[in-house]
Amino acid sequence: MMLIPLLYLFICISLIILLLLFPGVAHEGTDLGVSLFMEALFPYLLPYLILTQWFIRLTPNHNNSISKFGLYLKTYGISALGGFPTGAATITYLKKSKQITPKEASGLLSICHSPSPLFVIGFVGNDILNNTSFSWKFLILYHAVSFILLIIFYKVIRKDSLPTEQLPMQQNSQNYQNPFTSSIKDSIPTVLVVGSTIIFFTTIYTVVMHSISNFLPNVHNNFLLVTAATLEMTNGLQIAGQLFSNESAILYVLLATFLTTQSFSIHMQVAVIAKGEHISLKAYAMVRVLLTILIPALYYLIFLI
């Protein structure tokens, strides 16, 4: 058990040393992260977060099994359209307002987590592949598998879930808070978390890539690809498109893998948001591993053979 804290300590010290060795490169990476967040994510993420938080407050849940599944569907739909981390933000609000239990929150967090269709179709389909065929196939497959998991989770949770006794109190408390105002106030911390993680991991990615090219100039491109995809998904997708542009089968499997696995940047966003409401990440981690194996394998078997 002591190995994990020691590993974190080693990584932290190593990154601090790299930042001290290459302050100029770190500055460039920070500028890139700020630019990426302010120009590409902030204008889209903030309005969508506010609207989804407002929507969930204007459609309160009722204490019966039909509306409970409806709440699950509503949460899944919000996450599917908005992409990460809107699902995590919505689920933390539902737990905070006592509309779902901690066990439900943990399960929904693992299932209601997907890339935005605008990102998959726009960036991956149009910008990387110049063809949206892969994007539509991936989205259909990903959401088909996720929806099956959602139904299984509902069937399992319904057997041992208890009525939410606190729900009337939650509904009454809404009378003293303006839903729109509270939506704005609850959305700001999520946006700050997203911005901070993107800027941090873009900076780390820039410094690490610069260090690798300096210390190991003959390093294999595949190592650079894995490093980029692990730290920040967008860079991994872009590099994969450049390296395997003439090998469509390998490229499609890699894109499906990176879109399903995501990256430390995205997982840190979810972890920070979820830990604010003490939501367990065990189910989230297990489902991520399951989907990372399942989605690329199914994509290959269904669409490439």
DSSP letter, residue 2 = T
For residue 19, pLDDT over 80 is answered with yes
The token duo for 164 is 């939410």
- Binned at pLDDT 50, 70 and 90, residue 111 comes out as very high
Average pLDDT value for residue range 240-252: 92
Q: b/e string for 179-214 if b means 16 or more Cβ within 10 A?
A: eeebbeebbeebbebbbebbbbbbbbbbbbbbbeee
DSSP letter, residue 115 = -
pLDDT, residue 135, reads 95
The token duo for 31 is 């500028």
Nearest to 186 by CA among 93, 88, 298: 93
For residue 288, pLDDT over 90 is answered with yes
pLDDT, residue 116, reads 87
Using only C-alpha atoms, the chain has a radius of gyration, in whole angstroms, of 20
Q: In angstroms, rounded to a whole number, what is the distance separating the alpha carbons of residues 205 and 209?
A: 6
Q: Are 85 and 190 in contact (CB under 8 A)?
A: yes
Q: Amino acid letter at 150?
A: L
Helices marked H in 216-232: 221-231
DSSP letter, residue 177 = S
Instruction: Summarize pLDDT for 27-52 with one digit per residue, the tens.
Output: 999 998 888 788 767 777 788 888 88
Q: Tell me the pTM.
A: 0.85
171-176 contact pairs (CB < 8 A, 24+):
171/60, 173/97, 174/57, 174/60
Helices marked H in the chain: 3-21, 23-36, 42-58, 65-82, 86-96, 102-111, 117-118, 133-160, 167-173, 179-215, 221-231, 233-243, 248-261, 264-275, 282-299
Q: Are 126 and 84 in contact (CB under 8 A)?
A: no
For residue 283, pLDDT over 60 is answered with yes
pLDDT, residue 73, reads 93
- Binned at pLDDT 50, 70 and 90, residue 174 comes out as very low
Cβ-Cβ contacts under 8 Å for 41 (sequence gap 6 or more)? 194, 195, 198
Instruction: Summarize pLDDT for 56-95 with one digit per residue, the tens.
Output: 888 766 555 557 888 999 999 999 988 888 899 899 989 9
Q: In angstroms, rounded to a whole number, what is the distance separating the alpha carbons of residues 222 and 236?
A: 11
Positive or negative, the CA dihedral 222, 226, 227, 229 is positive
* HEC secondary structure over 46-79: HHHHHHHHHHHHHCCCCCCHHHHHHHHHHHHHHH
| Neighbour-count burial of 8, counting CB atoms closer than 10 A to its CB (0-12 exposed, 13-18 middle, 19+ buried) | exposed
Q: Are 84 and 270 in contact (CB under 8 A)?
A: yes
210: three-class secondary structure by DSSP: helix
